[in-house]
Every structure is written in C-alpha cells, then in structure tokens.
Amino acid sequence: MTMAEIMFYMADLNQKDRLIDLDDGAFPNQEFQDFIFGMATEFFFHSYGDLDVRETMVNLAEDYYRETNPPPNDFVQEDYSGRLNGVSDIRKILATSRIDPTVGDLKDEFTDPQMTFSFYMKYIKPGTKVFFPSYSWFSCLVDCKGYRYGGDLGYHAKYSALQNNPVNFVDNFVKNCHLLKTYYAVSGFSLLRATYSSPTTEDAYPLYRRFPGLLYADSGTFSSEIKRRDDAIRDVNWLTAISDAMLRRIGGLEHARKQLSADVILHPYDGGVVFQAGEKPRIGDVNMGDIPSAYREVNRLMRPLRFEGWTWPFYLRVPDDIDAAEATRAWISRFD
C-alpha cells in the first residue's frame, strides 16, 4: 500500500471503530516492513542503582515472555546476542553474557549499582529481517547511580491482545507502574518500529498529522531531554500514569475526578494514578474534526505537567522541508 492508501484505510477504520483490522498489517508491505500497527507501552522511572529494580525488571521480562504469543526468541545485551528457547534462558544469559573478558563481563550489569543494566528481546519470524519491527518486543534500561538519565521500559503488543482481554491489559499496566515506581507512563495505539532512529521514520509524518491518537513512543529521545527530572510528562494517550507528586501539583485525586467526565476511568495505585481515556484506544481524524474527547480531557488536566524544553533534534522526526521544532510543539500540544 502507498502512504495515501494506508491513510485512507486508517481513516475508514477509525470511522468504523475497527482498529482490530490493522492487526498483522505492515507498511509498505509484508516483504519489507517499516512499521506495523499495535499497542506501544512506555514506563519512565529513576532507580539510582537500586538492585531491587533490576530484579523487578527481569521478573517483568519473564512475565512478558510467558504472556506473549509467540514469545521472544532473540535476546540482545549490548554486543551480546543469544537465542531464547525458554523463559529460563533470560536469567541464564544475564548471568553469563560477556563482550570482552579483558574489560569485564556483561553479567556485572546485574549486580553492580555503578553500571547501567540494559537488554532487549524480540521475536524474529523465520525468513524475515532481524531489523523488522515485532509485536513481541521488550526493551529496558535501568539507570545506575551516576547515570545522566533515568530508566525506561518499553514493550509492544497486538491490538487483539488488548481487545481480547482489556481488563488484564490495564491491570498489567497499573501493576508495572507500581512495581517500577514510575513517575510517568503511557500506552496507546502506535506505529510499531524496530527503532525510531531510522531515516524512514519521517516518512510517516503525514499519519501523525492526521491521526492525533497515535502514540509516538520514542522513549530514548524523551529520556535524553528530560535527564534526571521526574516532574514532567511528554504527552498523554489512552493510558497515562503520573506519580503522586505530580498528581498533587494538579490538585490531587479528588480534584481530578471533578474535572473529568465518566469517560475517563481512574486507577489509583500505591505511588500514583492511571488515567484511562475511554474504554479502548482511538486514533481520531483531524480531517474529520475528530479529536478523541477523553484524550482531550486528560490533556487539559495534565497540561501544567507537560515538558516544553525540547532541543535539537527535537522529538518528532519529520521530512527535511518541515520545521522540526514547530512540528514537535504541534504534536505535543495536539489535544489542546
């Protein structure tokens, strides 16, 4: 499909409330995949070298492996790459992985609070390219004591995983926010990519301009901009979590309830609250004047928390003839 065709198709499915029809779809085609359609989820936190957070992250990776079908079969930790044949391989690799013995084993990342701890795992379908995006993808970075940036976790899921069991999807999101002590987390319908650093990312800019409910889930760029702050968010989406500290800055839980309609469901937990903007994700359509109202409600409440200090290369990757700073400001404020 061409970009124009995929745009027309997405607009039609938005009108029919049929995002499920995008499951298994890929752009531009199955032979070469720039992006696929599904759910992207991100969590942001600061561990400052706390080893308990590393243990929690491995537990979450194991849970993700068990709950995802097909489960990840490729595991990467810096320059090390190994095959996953079972859930027990995750912990086994982390206990033995290495790059150069003269420098040190990667396994030290799991036990040394002075080292960052990072890995990703994904499912690579036989016969496809290793750099293709995947529905089965889990990537994390746990910060150390002296690291300039915070930690983050991101993972993908098919839209059908949400539609088939929405309660479980939301419950897992809330649980992970609590376990990681996140200051900000978000989940929504997205163009799933292998990496946002690809030059082809900018080709999808027309889709982001038209469909405001999409989640542009580039956690690395946000982390590098916000550094060690824990008092700001990037934007809102279907699920948006903020810490108790940020909740107090916008008036507290009861004030939030009074500002929001019944379309927004609140999920308080020990450490923060999750705002669910409607029963299920929506992408909207600017051309039809369709800006999801529940998303706008959450945005209006959280607007004082929004990070505004974007610097080059800014957040949204855009074609060369588009002003990146202006495009980023427009994207972050799209629900205003």
3-state SS, one letter per residue, for 264-304:
EEEEEECCEEEEEECCCCCCCEHHHCECCHHHHHHHHHHHH
φ/ψ of residue 242, rounded to 5: -135, 155
Q: 140 forms bridges with which residues in the sheet?
A: 119, 153
Three-state secondary structure call for residue 45: strand
Using an 8 Å Cβ cutoff, are 200 and 34 in contact? yes
Q: Where are the domains of the chain?
A: 1-46+166-336, 48-149
Q: Tens of pLDDT along the chain (336 residues)?
A: 788 999 999 999 999 999 999 998 888 876 788 999 999 999 999 999 999 999 999 999 999 999 999 999 999 998 889 999 999 999 999 988 876 655 567 888 999 999 999 999 999 998 888 899 999 999 999 999 999 999 999 999 999 999 999 999 999 999 999 999 999 999 999 999 999 988 789 999 999 999 999 999 999 999 999 999 999 999 999 999 999 999 999 999 999 999 999 999 999 999 999 999 999 999 999 999 999 999 999 999 999 999 999 999 999 999 999 999 999 999 999 999
